[in-house]
Amino acid sequence: MSRIAVLPPDLQNKIAAGEVIERPASVVKELLENAIDAGSTAIEVVVEKAGRKLIRIADNGSGMSREDAVRAFERYATSKIRHEADLFHLRTLGFRGEGLAAIAAVSRIVLKTAERDADGAQVSVDGGVVDGVRDAAALGTSVEVRDLFFNTPARRKFLKSDATENFHIIDTVTREALVHPSIRFSLHTDGSELMLTPAASSLRERIMQIYGREFVDGLRETRVEEPGLALHLFVSSPNMIRNSRTNQYVFVNQRPVKDQTISQAIYRAYDGILSRNQHPVFFAFLAIDPEQVDCNVHPTKREVRFRDKLRVFRIVSDAARKALLTSTMVQPVVGADAPEQGIEYRVGYAEPVSAGLEWVWDSVPQQADIIAESSHAYLNQRLPNVYVGDTLVAFADGDGLVVMDYHAAHERVNYERFLDTVRMPAHHLLFPEQVTLPRAAAAVLVANASLLASCGIELDDFGEGSVVVRSVPEALQGNDLAGLLSDLAGALQMQGDEPLSDGLPELIDRRRRYLAAQLACHASIRGTQEVPDEERLSRLRTALAAARNPHRCPHGRPTMVRLSLDALKKMFRKS
């Protein structure tokens, strides 16, 4: 008896849907691509309960006939391609004919559409089964998706928190808005407007609409045109460096993708500029002959494969290097309707942080407070420090040579102090400060407001990507507030998809440790600041000796390297 059976069509569709529709943001992506391909100039996105309850996307595009509206829900039914050769000449975002079928298989969906000067139609589909077709007044196309994953409870159970799912939805809309500046986008979640980007005249203006004027002023822009290829690139100047990989965007033929060839090419241009765990901001818009790129690599079309990736790497790397070395700073957009304040990131945080620094230095225990049996007694010895360069100092301990990274050491001391404080001392601002961030970053901060408050940062949602900060940790008075909040948002975003299986307290503890590491980095002395004097370095060594883990900073970098006298003698060929 045969044990192999052909699965029924409804189960086939649910399995196929799992490859395309991973979460509510996947629905938003598929429907946005359809709206863009329809030639829309205005697209509205409405979400309720992070997409679990409702996702509605309406556009003013070309619409569909009644016959096409019904056929669109069949798998592999598409207006984009007809023959195999068309796969190598793609001019649209969608082409696989799977999007609507996959969404309909795991939701209840209503589509209203009409071609110009024609009668409209409404198609209702419940769990992949057409439930009804009737006449309806329509302009363009409106797709309403309700009860996502209602018939696949296992998939619904694995969705993350509303804050996390909303973040992915915001990120999806942001990416499409960035690469299609001529389209007006709006996003509403649970009755609140999170994003409104009027049609823009350029990519630069669209970036400013989303990120703010000061952010754009910190970018450097360049263009490259070669046969079959055009690149429009924005990269961050050396004083606008991040501690995480957020705000890195790659687009190929107006499609948001993740591509290591382009990303690594941009990083190559920063050789000698970035230190470890520092990352650039970039927006790479690549238009390339469709025959030179394969977009049919992944069901979600998030990956591409270049026919000549070495050529792409060279062009992108050379362009990024040119932007860093010779391009002028991007000029502010004058008179545009966009936030006045953007995000500002600085390498090394060169602004004076003396107030916070004094608080941390003054809290360092004196030598008498260190336990005499410390296994790191050489750190306590009053031996002279010799400045080597960057953030490195060296001192002899009587049995060898120790090289210490005083930034990494300071991070370790601050990190453990922050962790040991149940609620970090806060400095309440006399005048609360408004900070404008990308909408996704602001949403993550607001969702974690109570956790941030335990770290000394009290803030309120001010709408449209802005937060009002009422207090900061005492150790960070005078710090770059916008850069700090952006790094914290990036840290929380990286932690946002962690499962809650270990229990909420454990999750909060992990996130608090991650935040403490970010705060410690901002509070610690940098190589761009004045080298600490002998007294401060001695006190830092004393504090490091008392740390629970003195050997590494919270990010895993070594705080010190020791060469024993025997090893040194061997280097000099002494027995």
For tokens 């409804």, what's the residue? 10
533 contact partners, CB below 8 Å, separation of at least 6: none
Domain locations in the chain as residue ranges: 9-197, 219-325, 354-562
Write down the pLDDT at residue 261: 93
Residue 508 banded pLDDT, cuts 50, 70, 90:
low
Please give the angle made by the CA atoms of 209, 225 and 88, to the nearest 5 degrees. Answer: 90
Give the residue-averaged pLDDT of 88-117.
80
Task: Pick 9-197's CATH classification: 3.40.50.1110, 3.30.565.10, 3.40.50.300, 3.10.20.30.
Answer: 3.30.565.10
Mean pLDDT lowest among 259-273, 293-307, 337-351, 391-405: 337-351
Residue type at 522 in one-letter notation: H
Q: Are 136 and 112 in contact (CB under 8 A)?
A: yes
How far is residue 65's CA from residue 194's CA, in Å, rounded to a whole number? 33
The predicted model gives 463-480 an average pLDDT of 80
Query: Please, are residues 548 and 394 in contact by the beta-carbon 8 Å criterion?
Result: no
Element holding 362 (H helix, E strand): helix 354-362
Give, in order, the Cα–Cα distances in Å from 531 to each of 156, 166, 385, 478: 54, 44, 11, 19
Which of 119-128, 417-426, 489-498, 525-534 has the highest mean predicted lDDT (pLDDT)? 119-128
Mean pLDDT, residues 406-435 taken together: 83
H or E element at residue 469: strand 466-473
The topology under which CATH files domain 219-325 is Ribosomal Protein S5; domain 2 (3.30.230)
Q: Who contacts 208 (Cβ-Cβ below 8 Å, separation ≥6)?
A: 215, 216, 333, 336, 338, 342
Query: Options 3.90.1280.10, 3.30.1370.100, 3.30.70.20, 3.10.20.600; which CATH number does 354-562 get?
Result: 3.30.1370.100
Q: Please provide the size of the chain in residues.
A: 575
**Residue that wins the pLDDT comparison between 386 and 122:** 122
Q: How far apart are CA 478 and CA 176, in angstroms?
A: 36
Count CA atoms within 13 Å of residue 536 on its CB side. 17
pLDDT at residue 424, rounded to an integer = 67
Residue, of 505 and 530, whose pLDDT is higher: 530
State which amino acid sits at residue 331. Answer: Q
Which segments of 60-202 are extended strands (E)? 108-114, 121-126, 129-135, 140-146, 184-189, 192-197
Q: What is the CA radius of gyration of the chain?
A: 28
pLDDT in tens, 147-195: 999 998 888 988 988 988 999 999 999 999 999 999 999 999 999 998 9
